[in-house]
Structure 1
Amino acid sequence: MNYKKLGNTDLTTAPIVFGGNVFGWTLDEKESFKMLDELFEKGFTTIDSADVYSRWPDGNEGGESEKILGKWMKERGVRHKINLATKVGSSMQQGGDKDISRSHILKASEDSLKRLQTDYIDLYYTHWDDDKTPVEETLDTYQQLIKEGKVRYIGASNLSPERLQASLDAAKNNNLPKYEVFQPEYSLMEREKFEGKIKDICQQNNLSVLSYFSLASGFLTGKYQDKEDIKGKEREMFLKDYFDERGKKILKTLSEISNEHMVSEAAVALAWLINRPGITAPIASATKKSHLNSFFQAIDIELSKEQMQRLNDASAY
């Protein structure tokens, strides 16, 4: 496994990060433990979670993912071998406001540490911006947590270009912790949110980029061909707008290239991300051990320049 360094940290990751949003949502505790055992055995030791997982979309309390992950790490005795990432900033209340104030971060971090049954978080993300807390306040709070040994490094997700740049400037000018990783939504279906200003800022400031919704909530696996296939499914709310002409063109191109390599469509979609400029590693989830085959296929296959261009053209926006 070719591990990649994250920003200016001593953290590394496999070419694919596992997304822990499925723990407590589409996987119960027993099945989550099986998946985590398999991941650990195969060398996927960077796990991405958040305090609100899996509050949505089923109206759970939130924190289920962290609880399961914490229980698994403790029972297996592997905390020191896991690069643990979680997030703060979303509300645990349905429809609640985002919050990255000092008081919220300090309370939420303690709650996360308890659920995770650990003394420290390797990578702590600003999950969503509240667009009102001064960036200096947020970063100064992280500095306190770092000094206390509760957080090692920080990252950000879903910030606007303006707020991300302001945060990086504040870190430099005030000797505050710097975001080392950025986590945007990015896939063949969703390119516009990352490409452009955010990508430039990340590259100029040596931020590693870990993309989420890398398989567009399962759309890019080829499992769903039309809206009828998703009716009543957990992911219907995420997929319902993808079945337009552009989406169908992307699925067709994925199918063609997957046949050329004799791999899954998911593997091709992940391989495209792995080979995109500015991307360190995509985040992806799985609900069955067999789904992990796509991870290894994605890491092993070599997409040609012509195949990458076909995917770029099909997903053009």
Structure 2
Amino acid sequence: MRYRTIGTDPRTRREVSVLALGAMLFGSVTDEKTSFAVLDRYVEAGGNFIDTSDNYAFWADGGQGGQSEELLGRWRRSRGVGDEIVIATKLGARPLAPGTSYVDNAEGLSAKVIRESAERSRERLGVAKLDLLYAHIEDHEVPLQETVEGFAELVAEGTVGLLGVSNHATWRVERARALAAAAGLPGYEVLQYAHSHLRPRTDVPEALFPDGSLGHAGPDLLGYLRAEPALTLVAYSPLLKGAYTHPDRLPADFDHPGTPARLAVLREVARETGATVNQVVLAWQIGGELPIVPLAGVSSVAQLEENLAAVDLELTAEQRARLDAAH
């Protein structure tokens, strides 16, 4: 396994594996036995960066979520896992009532919610401190200042380490970070957005695509990452939910003329390296110029093994240039 540093403050920064494990469906769609087997193998391989959220997976049973955090808590206790494993979680998108969703009834990012939701996450995970806590989705009703101060209070108290942000407009990320910096408070250091080798359309309103377009790391966000080298991008859905091997799963916003060209280069490089297309995608992210940690979810140990092999896949500069240039 290889590792990279996230965060800049010596008191809170962590060394994390270059491949993160998504636990979104653990404890719900993925049963406990399988989830434990995947977690055990990931740790055995040197992985130490696991991602969850307080609202996972509310849609599986029409509830409010919490199943993934609860399963990770049981796994930690049964295996004697300590702070050597970095567990990141999120708040802000948990439905306030069963049968509702984050679209119309999210908990939001008020100071009260931040404190109370973080406490519930710590209880479910069985930890004294959340290693990395994200603002999951935007809250346009709460002033950014209140959100910034709410997260910073938990860091000051020692119940949260690093702060992150997901699925926010780039300008709101920058404004929140500027507010934190001006007040001498800790700000967001880890960004979590959808990112893969294939690119979604950018010529239509994001609202047309309810399957995640809002959270894509587009040119603005990637440019921001280049301008702020202390930030890290954790890339969710790097394998597009299996679409590289099951084209029928490709989301609607990837249906454009650029997709076949980029797929063709991916397949060329896969043939040249003897790797799978999925492995080439992950290796392209891991070894690129930007600090990107792919966050891949799996439902079996076999899928995990395929992803783990990507960590040691070295692409040549020429192969990278071709992958980057395809459009």
Please confirm whether the aligned pair reaches a TM-score higher than 0.5, indicating the same fold: yes
Task: Label 1:158 to 1:268 Cα distance change in 2 as closer, same or farther (>3 A).
Answer: same
Choose which of 181, 186, 203 in structure 1 pairs with 2:195.
186
Give the distance between the partners of 2:17 and 2:64, measured in 1 at CA.
31
Report the Cα distance in structure 1 between the residues aligned to 2:282 and 2:124, rounded to whole angstroms: 31
Secondary structure of 1:123's aligned partner: strand
Is contact 1:33–1:72 with CA below 8 Å preserved after alignment? yes
Q: Which moved more, 1:41-50 or 1:90-99?
A: 90-99
CA offsets, 1:197-256, max 9 Å, x none?
Answer: 322333433111111111111212x2x13x3xx5xxxxxxx7355455544443333222
Deviation for aligned residue 1:7 = 2.4
| 2:285 matches 1:276 | no
In structure 2, distance between residues paired with 1:31 and 1:246: 37
Q: Which residue of 1 aligns with 2:24?
A: 21
Aligned residue in 2 for 1:156: 165
Q: Which amino acid aligns with 1:116?
A: L
Please tell me whether residue 51 in structure 1 is matched to residue 54 in structure 2: yes
The one-letter code of the counterpart of 2:22 is: G
SS at match of 2:272: helix
Q: For 1:58-80, what per-residue CA distance to the aligned partner results, in whole angstroms no more than 9, with x for missing partners?
A: 63431111010111001111132
Asked if the contact 2:192/2:235 (under 8 Å) is kept, the reply is: yes
Paired with 1:307 and 1:59, the residues of 2 have a C-alpha distance of 45
Q: How many residues align?
A: 303
* Alpha-carbon distance in structure 1 between the residues aligned to 2:159 and 2:183: 21
Q: What's 1:134 paired with?
A: 143
Quick one: structure 1 residues 55 and 34, their matched pair in 2 at CA, closer, same or farther if it must change by over 3 Å?
A: same
What residue in structure 2 maps to residue 305 of structure 1? 317
The Cα of 1:5 is off from its aligned counterpart by: 0.2
Alignment of 1:216-231 (within 5 A): 216-220=240-244, 222=245, 224-225=246-247, 227=248
In the alignment, residue 6 of structure 2 is paired with which amino acid?
Answer: L
**Structure 2 counterparts to residues 1-317 of structure 1, below 5 A:** 1-8=1-8, 9-56=12-59, 59-92=62-95, 93-94=100-101, 95-98=103-106, 99-190=108-199, 193-205=216-228, 206-220=230-244, 222=245, 224-225=246-247, 227=248, 239=251, 242=254, 245-314=257-326, 316=327
Q: Distance in 2 between matches of 1:7 and 1:196?
A: 23
Paired amino acid for 1:290:
A
Higher mean alpha-carbon deviation, 10-19 vs 288-297, is at 288-297
Please give the alpha-carbon distance, in whole angstroms, between the structure 2 residues aligned to 1:203 and 1:50: 27
260-269 or 139-148, which deviates more: 139-148
Pick which of 261-270 and 280-289 moved more. Answer: 280-289
Question: 1:41 deviation in Å?
Answer: 0.8
User: How far apart in 1 are the matches of 2:287 and 2:85?
Assistant: 25
Structure-1-length-normalised TM-score: 0.88
Q: In the alignment, which residue of structure 2 is the partner of 1:233?
A: none
Segment drifting more, 278-287 vs 154-163? 278-287
Distance across 1 between alignment mates of 2:46 and 2:25: 19
Partner amino acid, structure 2, of 1:297 = A
Q: Secondary structure at the match of 1:184?
A: strand
State the match for 2:207 in structure 1. none
Between stretches 66-75 and 243-252, larger displacement belongs to: 243-252
User: Please, which moves more after superposition, 250-259 or 126-135?
Assistant: 250-259
Aligned residue for 1:194, secondary structure, equals: coil
Which amino acid is 1:197 matched to? D
TM-score, scaled relative to structure 2:
0.85
Retained in 2: the 8 A contact 1:217–1:239?
no
**Offset at residue 37 of structure 1 (A):** 0.7
Partner secondary structure for residue 58 of structure 2? coil
Deviates more, 1:25-34 or 1:242-251: 242-251
User: Any stretches of 5+ residues in structure 2 without a counterpart?
Assistant: 203-215
Return closer, same or farther for 1:116/1:134 CA change in 2, 3 Å cut-off.
same
Q: Distance in 2 between matches of 1:104 and 1:10?
A: 25
Equivalent residue letter for 2:110: S
Alignment RMSD (CA, Å): 2.1
Moved more, 198-207 or 74-83: 198-207
CA spacing shift, 1:281–1:247, aligned 2, 3 Å = same
For 1:235, the equivalent position in structure 2 comes to none
